[in-house]
Amino acid sequence: MEYPGNLFVVAAPSGAGKSSLVKALLELDARLAVSISHTSRAPRGQEQHGREYWFITPEEFRAMAERGDFFEWAEVHGNLYGTSRAGIESRLQGGEDVVLEIDFQGALQIKQLFAHAVLIFILPPSWDELRLRLARRGDTEPEVIAKRMNNARLEVAQAQHFDYIVVNAVFDTAVFDLKTIVHAQRLKYAAQRRNRSAVFQALDLP
C-alpha cells in the first residue's frame, strides 16, 4: 500500500523510554500524530478511553480482527493490541505523517503492508539501566521486573529487522536522533514521489 503521508513505527522493550520519547517528539513536531491503538487489556491508573487506548473487550477485538478492521494486531504480554485502519488511513491519504507506538510483531506486519514505513527500535543503554528505569517507573514486584527483563531480551533480538536503532542514554540526544530520522525520511520520500513542494516544505523553504 502506498499513501502520501509518512509512517514511522517505534518499538522498544518495556521501560526503554519509548512513550516518553514519542511524546517529546510530538511536542517538537506539529506535523506528526500518534495513532491510538485498540486493546483488550483493562485501563490502568489515569488512563482514559480514546486517549492512551481504545479499551474494548476481547470479543469486540476478535470481531474487529475478523472484519479486517486492523492493519496489524498482535498478542503482547497476554493482551491483544491492534492498529485500526480507520484511525490512520485518512490521515495518511491526506499526506499527513503518523507514528505507531507498537510492539515488534506489529512493526514487522506494518513493513509488509507499507514498504515505505520507517521502523525505529529504541534500545536502553544497558540491561542494568533498563532494570532501574522499570523500577523507577513503579514496576517494583521482582516477578514483574524479571518477566519484563526476559521479554526485553527476546524483543531486543528483533532489532536487526528495523531500519534504525536509537539508543536512549541521554534523553535529549535520543529525541534529536528521532527528529533527524523523521526529517531525513520526509525529504527522501518526497523526492521519491517527485513532490517538489513537499521537499521544500520538509526543508522549511518557502
Ligand X SMILES: Nc1nc2c(ncn2[C@@H]2O[C@H](COP(=O)(O)OP(=O)(O)O)[C@@H](O)[C@H]2O)c(=O)[nH]1
Contact pick of 5, 17, 87, 106 for ligand ADP (by CB under 6 A): 17
Contact pick of 9, 10, 11, 12 for ligand ADP (by CB under 6 A): 12
Question: Among ligand ADP, ligand X, none, what binds residue 83 when CB lies within 5 to 8 Å by partner kind?
Answer: ligand X
Alpha helices in the chain (DSSP H): 18-28, 58-67, 85-93, 104-113, 127-137, 142-156, 171-192, 196-202
Residues in a beta bridge with 75: 80
Q: Of 20-28, 80-88, 173-181, 182-190, which segment contacts ligand X by CB under 6 A?
A: 80-88
Q: Of 1-9, 20-28, 101-109, 173-181, which segment contacts ligand X by CB under 6 A?
A: 101-109
| C-beta of residue 174 within 8 angstroms of C-beta of residue 168 | yes
Q: Is 106 in the site for ligand X (CB under 6 A)?
A: yes
Q: Of 26-34, 51-59, 133-141, 151-159, which segment contacts ligand ADP by CB under 6 A?
A: 133-141
What is the C-alpha to C-alpha distance for residues 18 and 10, in angstroms, rounded to an integer?
7
Least Cα distance to 8 among 31, 38, 42 occurs for 31
Count of residues that bind ligand X according to CB under 6 A: 15
Rg of the chain on CA atoms, in Å: 17
Q: Is 19 in the site for ligand ADP (CB under 6 A)?
A: yes
